[in-house]
Chains A and B, each alone.
Chain A
Protein backbone atom coordinates (compact mmCIF):
# COMPACT_ATOMS: atom_id res chain seq x y z
CA UNK A 1 0.00 0.00 0.00
CA UNK A 2 2.61 2.58 0.89
CA UNK A 3 5.14 0.89 -1.38
CA UNK A 4 4.01 2.89 -4.38
CA UNK A 5 4.31 6.11 -2.44
CA UNK A 6 7.77 5.11 -1.22
CA UNK A 7 9.11 4.17 -4.63
CA UNK A 8 7.87 7.36 -6.22
CA UNK A 9 9.57 9.27 -3.42
CA UNK A 10 12.78 7.32 -3.88
CA UNK A 11 12.87 8.05 -7.56
CA UNK A 12 11.72 11.65 -7.34
CA UNK A 13 14.54 12.86 -5.15
CA UNK A 14 17.13 10.13 -4.72
CA UNK A 15 19.92 12.47 -3.62
CA UNK A 16 18.32 14.15 -0.66
CA UNK A 17 15.35 12.02 0.29
CA UNK A 18 15.62 9.93 3.41
CA UNK A 19 13.87 6.95 1.84
CA UNK A 20 15.61 3.58 2.15
CA UNK A 21 15.32 0.95 -0.54
CA UNK A 22 16.53 -2.59 0.07
CA UNK A 23 16.71 -4.84 -2.97
CA UNK A 24 17.07 -8.60 -2.86
CA UNK A 25 19.31 -8.59 0.22
CA UNK A 26 20.99 -11.90 1.02
CA UNK A 27 23.23 -12.66 3.98
CA UNK A 28 24.92 -16.01 4.52
CA UNK A 29 27.19 -16.41 7.56
CA UNK A 30 28.01 -19.92 6.32
CA UNK A 31 27.79 -20.45 2.55
CA UNK A 32 24.55 -22.11 1.50
CA UNK A 33 22.71 -21.25 4.72
CA UNK A 34 21.13 -17.83 4.15
CA UNK A 35 19.94 -15.91 7.22
CA UNK A 36 18.33 -13.36 4.92
CA UNK A 37 16.99 -14.94 1.74
CA UNK A 38 16.47 -12.04 -0.62
CA UNK A 39 14.76 -9.31 1.36
CA UNK A 40 13.26 -6.41 -0.60
CA UNK A 41 11.79 -3.45 1.26
CA UNK A 42 11.05 0.16 0.43
CA UNK A 43 10.87 2.42 3.44
CA UNK A 44 9.37 5.87 3.25
CA UNK A 45 11.37 8.94 4.13
CA UNK A 46 9.42 9.31 7.36
CA UNK A 47 7.53 7.25 9.90
CA UNK A 48 8.22 4.36 12.21
CA UNK A 49 8.75 0.89 10.78
CA UNK A 50 8.78 -2.00 13.24
CA UNK A 51 10.36 -5.32 12.27
CA UNK A 52 8.93 -8.22 14.25
CA UNK A 53 9.71 -11.91 14.18
CA UNK A 54 11.02 -14.79 16.30
CA UNK A 55 14.57 -14.82 17.66
CA UNK A 56 17.20 -15.91 15.16
CA UNK A 57 15.14 -15.00 12.12
CA UNK A 58 17.51 -12.36 10.84
CA UNK A 59 15.93 -9.13 12.18
CA UNK A 60 19.18 -8.06 13.75
CA UNK A 61 21.19 -9.11 10.70
CA UNK A 62 18.89 -7.07 8.46
CA UNK A 63 19.19 -3.89 10.51
CA UNK A 64 22.96 -4.35 10.90
CA UNK A 65 23.35 -4.78 7.14
CA UNK A 66 21.95 -1.27 6.68
CA UNK A 67 24.87 0.42 8.50
CA UNK A 68 27.22 -2.42 7.54
CA UNK A 69 28.03 -3.67 11.02
CA UNK A 70 27.30 -6.86 9.09
CA UNK A 71 28.46 -7.19 5.48
CA UNK A 72 25.68 -8.46 3.21
CA UNK A 73 26.45 -11.32 0.82
CA UNK A 74 24.33 -9.97 -2.04
CA UNK A 75 21.86 -7.24 -2.78
CA UNK A 76 21.53 -3.47 -2.72
CA UNK A 77 20.80 -0.97 0.05
CA UNK A 78 20.01 2.37 -1.55
CA UNK A 79 20.04 5.43 0.67
CA UNK A 80 20.56 9.05 -0.35
CA UNK A 81 21.67 8.09 -3.83
CA UNK A 82 24.29 5.58 -2.73
CA UNK A 83 24.38 1.80 -2.53
CA UNK A 84 25.47 1.26 1.08
CA UNK A 85 26.20 -2.41 0.36
CA UNK A 86 29.07 -1.43 -1.95
CA UNK A 87 30.79 1.18 0.19
CA UNK A 88 34.05 0.59 2.02
CA UNK A 89 36.76 2.51 3.85
CA UNK A 90 36.30 6.26 4.01
CA UNK A 91 33.12 6.27 1.88
CA UNK A 92 31.48 3.86 4.34
CA UNK A 93 32.60 5.97 7.28
CA UNK A 94 31.13 9.12 5.74
CA UNK A 95 27.85 7.34 5.00
CA UNK A 96 27.66 5.94 8.54
CA UNK A 97 27.78 9.45 10.00
CA UNK A 98 24.22 9.95 8.78
CA UNK A 99 22.87 6.70 10.22
CA UNK A 100 22.13 6.76 13.94
CA UNK A 101 21.83 3.51 15.88
CA UNK A 102 20.42 2.56 19.26
CA UNK A 103 21.31 -0.84 20.74
CA UNK A 104 19.70 -3.30 23.14
CA UNK A 105 22.62 -3.14 25.57
CA UNK A 106 22.95 0.68 25.17
CA UNK A 107 26.67 0.28 24.26
CA UNK A 108 27.72 3.43 26.08
CA UNK A 109 31.34 4.21 26.95
CA UNK A 110 30.90 3.01 30.53
CA UNK A 111 33.80 4.77 32.20
CA UNK A 112 33.21 8.10 30.49
CA UNK A 113 30.75 10.82 31.50
CA UNK A 114 27.28 11.28 30.03
CA UNK A 115 28.50 14.42 28.24
CA UNK A 116 31.44 12.58 26.66
CA UNK A 117 29.06 9.84 25.55
CA UNK A 118 26.75 12.33 23.82
CA UNK A 119 29.70 14.13 22.22
CA UNK A 120 31.03 10.77 20.94
CA UNK A 121 28.18 10.97 18.41
CA UNK A 122 30.30 13.62 16.65
CA UNK A 123 33.41 11.43 16.27
CA UNK A 124 32.74 11.02 12.56
CA UNK A 125 32.98 14.80 12.16
CA UNK A 126 35.82 15.69 14.55
CA UNK A 127 39.53 15.01 14.02
CA UNK A 128 40.90 12.16 16.18
CA UNK A 129 43.33 14.49 17.91
CA UNK A 130 40.59 16.92 18.95
CA UNK A 131 38.42 14.00 20.05
CA UNK A 132 41.27 12.68 22.22
CA UNK A 133 41.68 16.07 23.93
CA UNK A 134 37.87 16.44 24.05
CA UNK A 135 38.17 19.71 22.14
CA UNK A 136 34.71 19.65 20.60
CA UNK A 137 33.44 22.83 18.95
CA UNK A 138 31.26 25.30 20.83
CA UNK A 139 28.34 24.44 18.49
CA UNK A 140 28.72 20.73 19.31
CA UNK A 141 28.75 21.49 23.04
CA UNK A 142 25.56 23.56 22.80
CA UNK A 143 23.89 20.85 20.73
CA UNK A 144 24.87 18.23 23.27
CA UNK A 145 23.34 20.29 26.09
CA UNK A 146 20.15 20.81 24.07
CA UNK A 147 19.88 17.09 23.37
CA UNK A 148 20.46 16.26 27.03
CA UNK A 149 17.60 18.65 27.85
CA UNK A 150 15.38 16.97 25.28
CA UNK A 151 16.01 13.44 26.60
CA UNK A 152 15.69 14.68 30.19
CA UNK A 153 19.28 13.94 31.24
CA UNK A 154 20.69 17.46 31.63
CA UNK A 155 21.31 17.01 35.36
CA UNK A 156 23.46 13.96 34.70
CA UNK A 157 25.96 15.53 32.26
CA UNK A 158 28.97 14.94 34.53
CA UNK A 159 27.95 11.53 35.86
CA UNK A 160 29.75 8.44 34.65
CA UNK A 161 27.64 6.28 32.35
CA UNK A 162 28.12 3.20 34.53
CA UNK A 163 26.30 4.97 37.38
CA UNK A 164 23.04 5.20 35.38
CA UNK A 165 19.98 2.93 35.27
CA UNK A 166 18.96 1.09 32.08
CA UNK A 167 16.35 3.64 31.07
CA UNK A 168 18.73 6.54 31.69
CA UNK A 169 21.44 4.83 29.65
CA UNK A 170 19.08 4.36 26.72
CA UNK A 171 18.16 8.05 26.91
CA UNK A 172 21.84 8.95 26.67
CA UNK A 173 22.24 6.50 23.78
CA UNK A 174 19.36 8.19 21.94
CA UNK A 175 20.97 11.60 22.50
CA UNK A 176 24.27 10.21 21.16
CA UNK A 177 22.55 8.90 18.01
CA UNK A 178 20.76 12.24 17.46
CA UNK A 179 24.08 14.05 17.97
CA UNK A 180 25.13 12.60 14.60
CA UNK A 181 22.36 14.65 12.90
CA UNK A 182 21.22 11.37 11.37
CA UNK A 183 19.05 10.99 8.28
CA UNK A 184 17.72 7.70 9.58
CA UNK A 185 17.56 6.08 13.01
CA UNK A 186 18.06 2.33 13.47
CA UNK A 187 17.13 0.64 16.75
CA UNK A 188 18.06 -2.98 17.46
CA UNK A 189 15.76 -4.25 20.24
CA UNK A 190 16.03 -0.91 22.11
CA UNK A 191 13.63 -1.92 24.89
CA UNK A 192 14.41 -5.62 25.41
CA UNK A 193 16.49 -4.96 28.53
CA UNK A 194 14.00 -2.51 30.04
CA UNK A 195 10.88 -2.84 32.20
CA UNK A 196 7.45 -2.29 30.52
CA UNK A 197 6.97 1.27 31.77
CA UNK A 198 10.48 2.40 30.80
CA UNK A 199 10.09 0.65 27.43
CA UNK A 200 7.07 2.79 26.60
CA UNK A 201 8.87 5.95 27.76
CA UNK A 202 11.90 5.15 25.59
CA UNK A 203 9.79 4.40 22.51
CA UNK A 204 7.78 7.58 23.15
CA UNK A 205 10.98 9.60 23.29
CA UNK A 206 12.49 8.00 20.21
CA UNK A 207 9.39 8.33 18.01
CA UNK A 208 8.73 11.88 19.19
CA UNK A 209 12.31 13.02 18.50
CA UNK A 210 12.25 11.36 15.07
CA UNK A 211 8.99 13.09 14.18
CA UNK A 212 10.33 16.50 15.23
CA UNK A 213 13.38 15.95 13.02
CA UNK A 214 11.39 14.32 10.25
CA UNK A 215 13.64 11.26 10.04
CA UNK A 216 12.51 7.67 9.45
CA UNK A 217 13.01 5.05 12.19
CA UNK A 218 13.52 1.29 11.78
CA UNK A 219 12.99 -0.65 15.01
CA UNK A 220 13.60 -4.34 15.67
CA UNK A 221 11.24 -5.31 18.41
CA UNK A 222 9.89 -8.60 19.69
CA UNK A 223 7.03 -7.09 21.67
CA UNK A 224 4.09 -7.20 19.23
CA UNK A 225 1.88 -4.97 21.38
CA UNK A 226 4.51 -2.24 21.52
CA UNK A 227 5.14 -2.59 17.80
CA UNK A 228 1.43 -2.11 17.03
CA UNK A 229 1.25 0.85 19.41
CA UNK A 230 4.18 2.83 18.05
CA UNK A 231 4.73 1.80 14.45
CA UNK A 232 3.17 3.21 11.29
CA UNK A 233 4.14 0.09 9.43
CA UNK A 234 4.93 -3.45 10.51
CA UNK A 235 7.25 -5.86 8.72
CA UNK A 236 6.92 -9.45 9.94
CA UNK A 237 9.86 -11.76 9.29
CA UNK A 238 10.14 -15.51 9.49
CA UNK A 239 13.23 -17.55 8.67
CA UNK A 240 14.83 -14.90 6.50
CA UNK A 241 11.71 -13.91 4.55
CA UNK A 242 9.23 -11.06 4.85
CA UNK A 243 5.86 -12.69 5.55
CA UNK A 244 3.85 -9.60 6.51
CA UNK A 245 4.22 -6.01 5.40
CA UNK A 246 1.54 -3.47 6.13
CA UNK A 247 -0.32 -1.32 8.63
CA UNK A 248 -0.40 -2.29 12.32
CA UNK A 249 -4.18 -2.63 12.22
CA UNK A 250 -3.95 -5.21 9.46
CA UNK A 251 -1.85 -7.54 11.60
CA UNK A 252 -4.16 -10.44 12.53
CA UNK A 253 -3.72 -13.70 14.43
CA UNK A 254 -3.21 -15.57 11.16
CA UNK A 255 -0.25 -13.31 10.34
CA UNK A 256 1.23 -13.84 13.79
CA UNK A 257 0.86 -17.60 13.25
CA UNK A 258 2.76 -17.27 10.00
CA UNK A 259 5.47 -15.16 11.65
CA UNK A 260 6.03 -17.03 14.90
CA UNK A 261 4.50 -20.46 14.14
CA UNK A 262 2.17 -22.45 16.40
CA UNK A 263 -0.94 -20.98 17.93
CA UNK A 264 -1.05 -22.08 21.59
CA UNK A 265 0.62 -18.82 22.67
CA UNK A 266 -1.92 -16.59 20.95
CA UNK A 267 -4.93 -17.26 23.23
Chain B
Protein backbone atom coordinates (compact mmCIF):
# COMPACT_ATOMS: atom_id res chain seq x y z
CA UNK B 1 0.00 0.00 0.00
CA UNK B 2 2.50 2.59 1.17
CA UNK B 3 4.94 1.69 -1.65
CA UNK B 4 2.23 2.29 -4.22
CA UNK B 5 1.46 5.79 -3.02
CA UNK B 6 5.17 6.61 -2.92
CA UNK B 7 5.49 5.48 -6.56
CA UNK B 8 2.47 7.46 -7.63
CA UNK B 9 4.00 10.66 -6.32
CA UNK B 10 7.10 10.04 -8.48
CA UNK B 11 5.12 9.28 -11.60
CA UNK B 12 2.80 12.26 -11.84
CA UNK B 13 3.25 15.71 -10.45
CA UNK B 14 0.32 16.52 -8.17
CA UNK B 15 -0.93 20.07 -8.13
CA UNK B 16 -3.15 21.97 -5.74
CA UNK B 17 -4.83 25.31 -6.21
CA UNK B 18 -7.03 27.29 -3.87
CA UNK B 19 -9.88 27.86 -6.31
CA UNK B 20 -11.41 25.79 -9.09
CA UNK B 21 -11.64 27.47 -12.54
CA UNK B 22 -15.36 27.93 -11.90
CA UNK B 23 -14.69 29.73 -8.60
CA UNK B 24 -12.05 31.91 -10.28
CA UNK B 25 -14.53 33.00 -12.93
CA UNK B 26 -17.16 33.72 -10.28
CA UNK B 27 -14.70 35.81 -8.27
CA UNK B 28 -13.69 37.80 -11.36
CA UNK B 29 -17.36 38.45 -12.18
CA UNK B 30 -17.99 39.59 -8.61
CA UNK B 31 -15.17 42.16 -8.75
CA UNK B 32 -16.25 43.31 -12.21
CA UNK B 33 -19.85 43.88 -11.09
CA UNK B 34 -18.66 45.78 -7.98
CA UNK B 35 -16.53 48.20 -10.02
CA UNK B 36 -19.30 48.62 -12.59
CA UNK B 37 -21.81 49.41 -9.80
CA UNK B 38 -19.53 52.14 -8.41
CA UNK B 39 -19.10 53.74 -11.84
CA UNK B 40 -22.84 53.65 -12.60
CA UNK B 41 -23.86 55.08 -9.21
CA UNK B 42 -21.28 57.89 -9.44
CA UNK B 43 -22.93 58.90 -12.70
CA UNK B 44 -26.48 58.88 -11.36
CA UNK B 45 -25.86 61.08 -8.33
CA UNK B 46 -25.05 64.02 -10.64
CA UNK B 47 -22.17 65.74 -8.93
CA UNK B 48 -22.17 69.48 -9.63
CA UNK B 49 -18.48 70.48 -9.85
CA UNK B 50 -18.98 74.10 -8.73
CA UNK B 51 -20.71 73.05 -5.50
CA UNK B 52 -18.10 70.40 -4.84
CA UNK B 53 -15.19 72.85 -5.29
CA UNK B 54 -16.97 75.29 -3.02
CA UNK B 55 -17.42 72.78 -0.19
CA UNK B 56 -14.25 73.48 1.90
CA UNK B 57 -15.13 77.20 1.98
CA UNK B 58 -18.70 76.40 3.04
CA UNK B 59 -17.47 74.11 5.82
CA UNK B 60 -15.18 76.86 7.12
CA UNK B 61 -18.03 79.33 7.02
CA UNK B 62 -20.34 76.97 8.93
CA UNK B 63 -17.76 76.37 11.65
CA UNK B 64 -17.31 80.13 11.96
CA UNK B 65 -20.99 80.57 12.63
CA UNK B 66 -21.08 77.62 15.04
CA UNK B 67 -18.23 78.92 17.17
CA UNK B 68 -18.58 79.72 20.01
CA UNK B 69 -21.48 77.36 20.85
CA UNK B 70 -24.40 79.00 22.62
CA UNK B 71 -23.78 77.65 26.13
CA UNK B 72 -26.79 79.47 27.58
CA UNK B 73 -29.08 77.56 25.19
CA UNK B 74 -28.39 74.39 27.23
CA UNK B 75 -30.23 75.30 30.45
CA UNK B 76 -32.88 77.23 28.49
CA UNK B 77 -34.00 74.59 26.00
CA UNK B 78 -31.64 71.64 25.57
CA UNK B 79 -31.57 70.09 29.05
CA UNK B 80 -35.23 69.11 29.23
CA UNK B 81 -35.34 68.00 25.61
CA UNK B 82 -32.27 65.86 26.22
CA UNK B 83 -33.90 64.14 29.20
CA UNK B 84 -36.99 63.58 27.08
CA UNK B 85 -34.84 61.96 24.39
CA UNK B 86 -33.29 59.61 26.96
CA UNK B 87 -36.78 58.73 28.24
CA UNK B 88 -38.07 58.06 24.71
CA UNK B 89 -35.11 55.79 23.96
CA UNK B 90 -35.36 53.88 27.25
CA UNK B 91 -39.12 53.40 27.23
CA UNK B 92 -39.03 52.48 23.52
CA UNK B 93 -36.33 49.88 24.17
CA UNK B 94 -38.28 48.36 27.08
CA UNK B 95 -41.46 48.04 25.02
CA UNK B 96 -39.39 46.53 22.20
CA UNK B 97 -37.87 43.90 24.52
CA UNK B 98 -41.29 42.83 25.78
CA UNK B 99 -42.62 42.52 22.21
CA UNK B 100 -39.46 40.94 20.78
CA UNK B 101 -39.23 37.95 23.16
CA UNK B 102 -42.38 36.16 21.95
CA UNK B 103 -41.61 36.97 18.31
CA UNK B 104 -38.02 35.70 18.73
CA UNK B 105 -39.37 32.46 20.21
CA UNK B 106 -41.83 32.24 17.31
CA UNK B 107 -39.16 32.46 14.58
CA UNK B 108 -36.67 30.05 16.19
CA UNK B 109 -37.31 26.82 14.26
CA UNK B 110 -35.85 24.55 16.93
CA UNK B 111 -38.18 25.97 19.60
CA UNK B 112 -41.37 26.56 17.62
CA UNK B 113 -41.93 23.55 15.41
CA UNK B 114 -44.67 25.11 13.31
CA UNK B 115 -43.78 26.39 9.84
CA UNK B 116 -46.67 28.87 9.77
CA UNK B 117 -45.69 30.49 13.08
CA UNK B 118 -42.01 30.64 11.97
CA UNK B 119 -43.06 32.37 8.80
CA UNK B 120 -45.48 34.72 10.56
CA UNK B 121 -42.83 35.74 13.11
CA UNK B 122 -40.35 36.39 10.33
CA UNK B 123 -42.93 38.60 8.58
CA UNK B 124 -43.33 40.70 11.75
CA UNK B 125 -39.55 41.08 12.10
CA UNK B 126 -39.01 42.03 8.46
CA UNK B 127 -41.87 44.57 8.50
CA UNK B 128 -40.48 46.17 11.64
CA UNK B 129 -37.01 46.51 10.15
CA UNK B 130 -38.01 47.55 6.65
CA UNK B 131 -39.56 50.78 7.96
CA UNK B 132 -37.19 53.51 9.16
CA UNK B 133 -37.66 55.02 12.65
CA UNK B 134 -38.51 58.38 11.09
CA UNK B 135 -41.29 56.78 9.04
CA UNK B 136 -42.59 54.89 12.09
CA UNK B 137 -42.53 58.25 13.92
CA UNK B 138 -44.57 59.91 11.14
CA UNK B 139 -47.13 57.08 11.42
CA UNK B 140 -47.38 57.35 15.21
CA UNK B 141 -47.55 61.15 15.13
CA UNK B 142 -50.55 60.73 12.82
CA UNK B 143 -52.13 58.20 15.20
CA UNK B 144 -51.23 59.56 18.66
CA UNK B 145 -50.54 63.20 17.83
CA UNK B 146 -47.12 64.87 18.15
CA UNK B 147 -45.06 64.31 21.30
CA UNK B 148 -42.74 61.90 23.05
CA UNK B 149 -45.27 59.02 23.22
CA UNK B 150 -45.28 58.79 19.42
CA UNK B 151 -41.48 58.80 19.60
CA UNK B 152 -41.33 55.97 22.12
CA UNK B 153 -43.65 53.81 19.99
CA UNK B 154 -41.68 54.59 16.84
CA UNK B 155 -38.48 53.48 18.60
CA UNK B 156 -40.18 50.36 19.97
CA UNK B 157 -41.64 49.24 16.64
CA UNK B 158 -38.38 49.75 14.79
CA UNK B 159 -36.40 47.87 17.49
CA UNK B 160 -38.63 44.77 17.63
CA UNK B 161 -37.23 43.56 14.31
CA UNK B 162 -33.64 44.03 15.43
CA UNK B 163 -33.93 42.51 18.91
CA UNK B 164 -36.32 39.74 17.77
CA UNK B 165 -34.06 38.66 14.94
CA UNK B 166 -30.91 38.47 17.07
CA UNK B 167 -32.78 36.84 19.97
CA UNK B 168 -34.30 34.24 17.62
CA UNK B 169 -30.88 33.49 16.13
CA UNK B 170 -29.38 33.09 19.60
CA UNK B 171 -32.14 30.57 20.42
CA UNK B 172 -31.42 28.64 17.23
CA UNK B 173 -27.70 28.55 17.98
CA UNK B 174 -28.07 27.29 21.56
CA UNK B 175 -26.57 23.90 22.38
CA UNK B 176 -28.87 20.98 21.69
CA UNK B 177 -27.36 18.60 24.26
CA UNK B 178 -28.73 20.14 27.48
CA UNK B 179 -32.14 20.59 25.82
CA UNK B 180 -32.17 16.93 24.85
CA UNK B 181 -31.25 15.98 28.42
CA UNK B 182 -34.21 17.95 29.81
CA UNK B 183 -36.63 16.54 27.23
CA UNK B 184 -35.41 13.03 28.00
CA UNK B 185 -36.37 13.58 31.65
CA UNK B 186 -39.96 14.49 30.76
CA UNK B 187 -39.64 18.24 31.19
CA UNK B 188 -42.61 20.22 29.82
CA UNK B 189 -42.06 22.80 27.04
CA UNK B 190 -42.10 25.88 29.25
CA UNK B 191 -39.73 24.37 31.82
CA UNK B 192 -37.32 23.47 29.01
CA UNK B 193 -37.56 27.09 27.82
CA UNK B 194 -36.83 28.56 31.26
CA UNK B 195 -34.16 26.10 32.42
CA UNK B 196 -32.63 24.97 29.11
CA UNK B 197 -32.82 27.84 26.62
CA UNK B 198 -33.06 31.00 28.72
CA UNK B 199 -29.76 30.57 30.63
CA UNK B 200 -28.01 29.88 27.33
CA UNK B 201 -29.30 32.99 25.52
CA UNK B 202 -29.27 35.33 28.53
CA UNK B 203 -25.87 36.99 27.83
CA UNK B 204 -26.80 37.57 24.18
CA UNK B 205 -30.21 38.92 25.14
CA UNK B 206 -28.84 41.57 27.51
CA UNK B 207 -26.01 42.49 25.24
CA UNK B 208 -28.44 42.99 22.33
CA UNK B 209 -30.78 44.98 24.59
CA UNK B 210 -27.97 47.33 25.67
CA UNK B 211 -26.70 47.73 22.12
CA UNK B 212 -30.20 48.57 20.92
CA UNK B 213 -30.65 51.11 23.75
CA UNK B 214 -27.40 52.73 22.60
CA UNK B 215 -28.66 52.91 18.98
CA UNK B 216 -32.08 54.17 20.12
CA UNK B 217 -30.56 57.11 22.01
CA UNK B 218 -29.03 58.31 18.76
CA UNK B 219 -32.14 57.55 16.70
CA UNK B 220 -34.52 59.29 19.08
CA UNK B 221 -32.40 62.44 18.77
CA UNK B 222 -33.71 62.97 15.23
CA UNK B 223 -37.33 61.99 15.88
CA UNK B 224 -38.05 65.61 16.87
CA UNK B 225 -37.56 66.56 13.22
CA UNK B 226 -40.97 65.03 12.49
CA UNK B 227 -42.56 66.19 15.74
CA UNK B 228 -42.11 63.07 17.84
CA UNK B 229 -40.52 64.85 20.81
CA UNK B 230 -37.03 64.98 22.26
CA UNK B 231 -33.94 66.97 21.45
CA UNK B 232 -34.72 66.84 17.72
CA UNK B 233 -37.32 69.55 18.32
CA UNK B 234 -34.65 71.88 19.72
CA UNK B 235 -32.33 70.99 16.84
CA UNK B 236 -35.05 71.63 14.28
CA UNK B 237 -35.91 75.03 15.73
CA UNK B 238 -32.26 76.11 15.80
CA UNK B 239 -31.69 74.89 12.21
CA UNK B 240 -34.74 76.66 10.83
CA UNK B 241 -33.81 79.94 12.46
CA UNK B 242 -30.14 79.58 11.31
CA UNK B 243 -28.85 79.79 14.92
CA UNK B 244 -25.74 77.80 14.12
CA UNK B 245 -24.24 78.37 17.56
CA UNK B 246 -27.31 76.70 19.10
CA UNK B 247 -27.08 73.85 16.57
CA UNK B 248 -23.47 73.37 17.71
CA UNK B 249 -24.57 73.24 21.36
CA UNK B 250 -27.21 70.59 20.58
CA UNK B 251 -24.66 68.48 18.72
CA UNK B 252 -22.12 68.77 21.55
CA UNK B 253 -24.76 67.73 24.13
CA UNK B 254 -25.64 64.66 22.06
CA UNK B 255 -21.97 63.78 21.65
CA UNK B 256 -21.43 63.90 25.41
CA UNK B 257 -24.53 61.76 26.13
CA UNK B 258 -23.64 59.15 23.51
CA UNK B 259 -20.08 59.01 24.86
CA UNK B 260 -21.28 58.50 28.45
CA UNK B 261 -23.73 55.80 27.35
CA UNK B 262 -20.94 54.05 25.45
CA UNK B 263 -18.84 53.95 28.64
CA UNK B 264 -21.77 52.71 30.73
CA UNK B 265 -22.80 50.00 28.25
CA UNK B 266 -19.23 48.68 27.95
CA UNK B 267 -18.99 48.41 31.74
CA UNK B 268 -22.32 46.59 32.10
CA UNK B 269 -21.58 44.22 29.22
CA UNK B 270 -18.27 43.21 30.80
CA UNK B 271 -20.13 42.21 33.94
CA UNK B 272 -22.90 40.19 32.25
CA UNK B 273 -20.62 37.97 30.18
Most central of B186, B188, B191, B194 by chain A CB within 10 Å? B186
Is A69 a contact partner of B186 (Cβ separation < 8 A)? Answer: no
A120 to B194 alpha-carbon distance, docked (Å): 11
Tell me the bound Cα distance from A132 to B188 in angstroms: 12
Name which of B72-80, B163-171, B174-182 contacts chain A: B174-182
Residue of A nearest to B188 (CB): A128
Known contacts A105-B177, A110-B178, A112-B199: does B183 contact A126 (CB below 8 Å)?
Answer: no
- Checking B177, B185, B189, B194 against A132 with a beta-carbon cut-off of 8 angstroms, the contacting residue is B194
Q: Complex Cα distance A201/B193, Å?
A: 33
Check A213 for interface membership: any CB of B closer than 8 A. Answer: no
Q: Are B177 and A103 in contact (CB under 8 A)?
A: yes
Name the A residues within 8 Å of B200 (CB-CB). Answer: 110-111
| B196 located at the interface, meaning its Cβ lies under 8 Å from any Cβ of chain A in the complex | yes
The answer to whether B185 and A124 touch across the interface, beta carbons within 8 angstroms, is yes
Are B194's CB and A107's CB within 8 A?
Answer: no
Please state if B177 and A99 are interface contacts (CB–CB under 8 Å).
no
B177 near A111 with CB under 8 A, answer no
Interface membership of chain B positions 126-154, coded 1 if the CB is closer than 8 angstroms to chain A and 0 otherwise: 00000000000000000000000000000
B194 and A124 within 8 A (CB) = no
**Residue B184 at the chain A interface, CB threshold 8 Å:** yes
Closest to A121 in B: B185
CA distance A96 to B185 in the complex (A): 5
Partner among A69, A116, A126, A132 whose Cβ is within 8 Å of the Cβ of B184:
A69
B202 within 8 A of A: yes
- Determine whether the beta carbon of A128 is less than 8 Å from that of B190: yes
Instruction: Evaluate whether A123 and B185 lie within 8 angstroms (CB atoms) in the complex, with A69-B180, A107-B180, A132-B194 already known.
Output: yes
Most buried by A among B177, B191, B196: B191
Q: Once the chains bind, are A128 and B191 in contact (CB under 8 Å)?
A: yes
The yes or no answer to B207 lying at the interface (CB within 8 A) is no
A93 and B195 in contact, given A105-B177, A107-B180, A111-B200 (Cβ under 8 angstroms)? no
Residues in chain A within 8 A of chain B (CB atoms) = 67, 69, 93-97, 99-101, 103, 105-112, 116, 120-121, 123-124, 126, 128, 131-132, 173, 176-177, 180
B194 contact from A94, A99, A131, A173, Cβ within 8 A: A131
Residues of B within 8 Å of A173, CB to CB, are 181
Q: How far is the CA of A128 from the CA of B195 in the complex (A)?
A: 9
Chain A residues with CB under 8 Å of B189's CB are 128
The reply to whether the CB of B253 lies closer than 8 angstroms to some CB of chain A is no
Residue from B185, B191, B192 within 8 A of A101 (CB atoms): B185
B184 and A101: CB pair below 8 A?
yes
Q: Does B110 reach chain A (CB closer than 8 Å)?
A: no
Q: A residues within 8 A CB of B182? A: 109, 120, 123
Given A107-B177, A108-B178, A111-B200, A67-B195 contact (CB < 8 Å): no
Residue among B180, B185, B192 with most chain A CB within 10 A: B185
Q: Are A109 and B190 in contact (CB under 8 A)?
A: no
Q: Besides A101-B185, A120-B182, 19 other CB < 8 A contacts?
A: A93-B187, A94-B186, A96-B183, A96-B185, A97-B185, A97-B186, A101-B184, A107-B180, A108-B178, A108-B181, A109-B178, A111-B199, A120-B195, A123-B185, A123-B192, A124-B185, A124-B188, A128-B191, A131-B187
Known A-B contacts A107-B177, A107-B178; the reply to A112 vs B195 at CB < 8 A is yes
The minimal Cβ–Cβ distance linking B199 to chain A, given in whole angstroms, is 5
Q: How far is the CB of A17 from chain B (nearest CB, A)?
A: 20
A123 touches B191 (CB 8 A): yes
Given contacts A109-B199, A128-B194, contact A101 B181 (CB under 8 A): yes
A101: chain B residues at CB < 8 Å are 181, 184-185
Q: Which residues of A contact B184 (CB under 8 A)?
A: 67, 69, 96, 99, 101
User: What B residues does A94 contact at CB under 8 A?
Assistant: 186
Question: Do residues B185 and A109 form an inter-chain contact, with CB atoms below 8 A?
Answer: no
What chain A residues lie within 8 Å of B186 (beta carbons)? 93-97, 123-124, 180
